[in-house]
Structure 1
Amino acid sequence: MSDLQAAAARAMACLDLTNLNDDCTSEDIKALCQKANTRHGPTAAVCIWPQFVAEAHGHLLGTGIRIATVVNFPGGDDPAEEVLDLTEKAVADGADEIDMVIPYKALMEGHPQLVPALVSRVREAAGSARVKAILETGVLGDADLIRQACTGALEGGADFLKTSTGKVAVNATPVAGRILLEAIRESGEPVGFKPAGGVKNTADAAAYLDLCDEIMGPDWARPATFRIGASGVLTALLATLDGEDAPVETAGY
């Protein structure tokens, strides 16, 4: 197995196969769940809209593939009570992980205390489900703001720091990923990292694995601590594992 094939195998086991398209249907969810159980083994999870969690739970029973869903998504400014109600319902429907957008606009407006406040409330509402805090690093832009977002999410008890919604112009970047990983390392807490959006091919996925290996150590990046949020990269990973040429990249998450 080549180095790139080894990276593809690692990445696929850590993939949150995603469909957060506005026109997503029940048939799309069924197809996504089938794709997640690949000929080279399962992905870590599917990431879908809350209204499809119960359906996905039925499709994925017995596979070990987790279900992630999104709240306060994508704008990060939904009413808190709606966010908490949606979190509780999603977990009741079978969600294993809650990917929540932090109130990043409030952070940019000078209200950093609202970040840990909401994260901690979602963390409580999620019960045993993991909470991934989406920082929307491409909008925050400034390294100091991204660090503040990390600090607030960690203070609130987030289980993962996630870069992006995939719904803005700039999503995951290695620069932002380094900031998140360094914040996790400095915290000393068992918190994971999820780059999302913009991971298009095996080389992109390998670059984030290399970044994790550099900052956190060679054995750190595994499904419990590292995820890739993407929709199209699975095709590229499978092609790499099959020893085939990668397909032409497509637009999207």
Structure 2
Amino acid sequence: MNIKHYLDSTYLKTAAQANLSEQENTEVVKKCIQEAIDYDFKLIMIRPDQVVLAKKMIEAANSKVTIGTVIDFPFGNGTLEEKLAEAKQAIENGVDDLDYVLDYVAFKRGEIETIKEQVLQGTKLGLAHHKIVKWIIEVAALDNHQIVQLSALIKNVVIANFSEKEYDKVFVKSSTGFYKTPEGVPNGATVSTVKLMLENSCPLAVKAAGGVRTYEEAVEMIQLGVKRIGTSAAKAISTGEISNSNY
């Protein structure tokens, strides 16, 4: 097992969130992209406005690292039209993976048809352009029953509308890493939430994002059955170091 090829190395902070200037934050992004190239991670996950930069650096290095970005991040409460417009721009800019934040608040309000349409149209757009599509359900905002329901909903929409050969291009993803939880409560992937996702999203793949910071934790997630791990501790995971990352 080459653990590096499971890792979506992630940096999603804005300059303000990182308490940096725009130029300083761009330098951090460049460092993360270069690290992904140097360590041959599966993917570099960055904000939409940084996709062009990543594409340029990866092509210049003749690297196989793929590029992912987040859509309607971090709350997922934009309109369907806004989600699709942002995704279309990312596709034009050369992105490989589209990680949409599903409107989990609307789901909790019972707006099931709205959620189904988001999944249908967002997935259709991505697959039409040969992209990987991931749906972030924000497990920390949901109870176990809701995790089961939402994972199954995404699966059922995909099965009803797309061919079996496309199933492996659609993921259910645990978290944004930006959801605010009470002190000490995990806001990312946990073993229990990932098990629920795996059981109810199959045959779709699962991405465990947030909270995976060590080699041992990553191996545990892979052994459970996840196909991707979203983490800002990719280097530490791949080298066995200790990370102080909070995502």
5+ long unaligned stretches in structure 2: 19-24, 159-168, 182-186
The reply to whether residue 121 of structure 1 matches residue 90 of structure 2 is: no
**Of 24-33 and 74-83, the range deviating more from structure 2:** 24-33
Deviation, 1:96, is 0.5
Cα deviation code 1:158-216 (max 9, x no counterpart) = 7001000011232111111001111233xxx3x2211001111111111101211xxxx
Instruction: Indicate the residue corresponding to 2:139 in structure 1.
Output: 137
Instruction: Indicate the residue corresponding to 1:28 in structure 2.
Output: 28
Contact 2:232–2:245, Cα closer than 8 Å, also in 1 = no
Cα distance in 2 for residues equivalent to 1:156 and 1:118: 10
Tell me which amino acid in the other structure corresponds to 2:236.
T
Please give the TM-score of this superposition, normalised by the length of structure 1: 0.81
Cα distance in 2 for residues equivalent to 1:137 and 1:231: 18
Dislocated runs of 4+, deviation >4 Å: none
Instruction: Indicate the residue corresponding to 2:170 in structure 1.
Output: 159
Tell me which amino acid in the other structure corresponds to 1:202.
Y
Tell me which amino acid in the other structure corresponds to 2:173.
K
Cα distance in 2 for residues equivalent to 1:156 and 1:22: 33
Higher relative contact order (CA 8 A, sep 6+): 1
Deviation, 1:125, is 2.4
Contact 1:11–1:228, Cα closer than 8 Å, also in 2 = no
Contact 1:100–1:132, Cα closer than 8 Å, also in 2 = yes
Q: How does 1:73-222 map to 2 (within 5 A)?
A: 73-126=73-126, 127-140=129-142, 142-157=143-158, 159-168=170-179, 169=181, 170-185=187-202, 189=203, 191-212=204-225
Please give the TM-score of this superposition, normalised by the length of structure 2: 0.83
Tell me which amino acid in the other structure corresponds to 2:244.
T
**Aligned length in residues:** 219
Deviation, 1:112, is 2.2
Contact 1:112–1:148, Cα closer than 8 Å, also in 2 = no
Contact 2:215–2:236, Cα closer than 8 Å, also in 1 = no
Tell me which amino acid in the other structure corresponds to 1:166.
G
Q: 1:46 aligns with which of 31, 44, 47?
A: 44
Cα deviation code 1:104-139 (max 9, x no counterpart) = 101111122222210111122222111100010111
Deviation, 1:26, is 2.6
Distance 1:114 1:152, change over 3 A: farther
Tell me which amino acid in the other structure corresponds to 1:162.
K
Cα distance in 2 for residues equivalent to 1:125 and 1:209: 28
**Aligned sequence identity (%):** 27
> As a proportion of its length, which structure holds more helix?
2
Contact 1:163–1:196, Cα closer than 8 Å, also in 2 = yes
Cα distance in 2 for residues equivalent to 1:184 and 1:95: 25
5+ long unaligned stretches in structure 1: 1-5, 213-220, 241-245
Cα distance in 2 for residues equivalent to 1:48 and 1:155: 29
The reply to whether residue 250 of structure 1 matches residue 244 of structure 2 is: yes
Cα distance in 1 for residues equivalent to 2:237 and 2:154: 32
Tell me which amino acid in the other structure corresponds to 1:52.
Q
CA RMSD of aligned residues (A): 1.7
Deviation, 1:144, is 1.4
Cα distance in 2 for residues equivalent to 1:210 and 1:174: 11
